[in-house]
Structure 1
């Protein structure tokens, strides 16, 4: 849990850098949801922790996750939406080479609990510069219609 909603992205990055998925899981409610950049949907704290633990010990083992621009919108006294643009560096590709830097926007829905704020939902979206949407035409790829 975190003391204030705007602290959540920094706490998420700190848990990421611990390389312990259970530290990420501890930021989420027992019945929380997390949808990753490819649409994998983890539906409770244990699944969120397990998936992150695997990733942080394998293809994300050398990554640095840096929070950037953050917005916080209170939805009453006990709920908030926090969105943060993160930069991810150091991801390993399947061949063992560097997969290149990425930017994502993580959206968190938080609720106030005794002792602080905890996520009940998260959605991770890759930022694809110069693209408006995706096409599935024999291979999933980002496209931009503005140039056509």
Structure 2
């Protein structure tokens, strides 16, 4: 998928996830991108990012879906943008705890190379109650 506009990233990420298409997922990232998942696991490089996701898409998230919603875009330069978007994961029966939902706030740094936007860095934070640690869903 060729991302022409930074605002397309959340929906492209959602589509790749929902189709469990790791080729489309990989195409969202720069070769040397970094990724921090909601558990604080850090990886660098598109191959490592895909390697982190393949096993979960084959098992616990094989029937999961995402719904992403763009919050904002902040242009640093014409070729660098910071974006935030909400992501609601709906896990299905394949997950060990069964069907449930989780909201995360995703921050991405996007860069444009050869007229195409790619994710250079992504970090995801799960919404939790700071007093109990329990996950919470945002008001939509």
What RMSD over aligned residues (CA atoms) do the two structures have, in Å? 1.7
**Distance in 2 (alpha carbons) for counterparts of 1:9 and 1:78:** 18
Structure 1 residue aligned with 2:117: 117
Q: Which has the higher Rg, Structure 1 or Structure 2?
A: 1
Give 1:132's match in structure 2, choosing from 130, 133, 140. Answer: 130
Task: Tell me which residue corresponds to 2:138.
Answer: none
Alignment deviations for residues 33-82 of structure 1 (CA, whole Å, 9 cap, x no partner): 00001111111000111211221121111111001242111111110011
TM-score normalised by the chain length of structure 2: 0.86
Report SS of the residue matched to 1:71: strand
Aligned length: 132
Which ranges in structure 2 are unaligned for 5 or more consecutive residues? 135-140
Unaligned runs of 5+ in 1: 134-140, 144-148
SS of corresponding position for 1:75: strand
Q: CA deviation at 1:18?
A: 1.9
**Alpha-carbon distance in 1 for matches of 2:27, 2:66:** 18
Separation (CA, whole Å) in 2 of partners of 1:103 and 1:77: 30
CA deviations 1:3-60 (Å, max 9, x no partner) are: 1111100010011112122321111011100000111111100011121122112111
Query: Which aligned segments of 4 or more residues in structure 1 are displaced greater than 6 angstroms?
Result: none
Q: Could you say what secondary structure the match of 1:61 adopts?
A: coil
Q: Which residue is equivalent to 1:28? A: 29
TM-score normalised per structure 1: 0.82
Secondary structure at 2:104 match in 1: strand
Is 1:142 matched with 2:133? yes
Match of 2:137 in 1: none
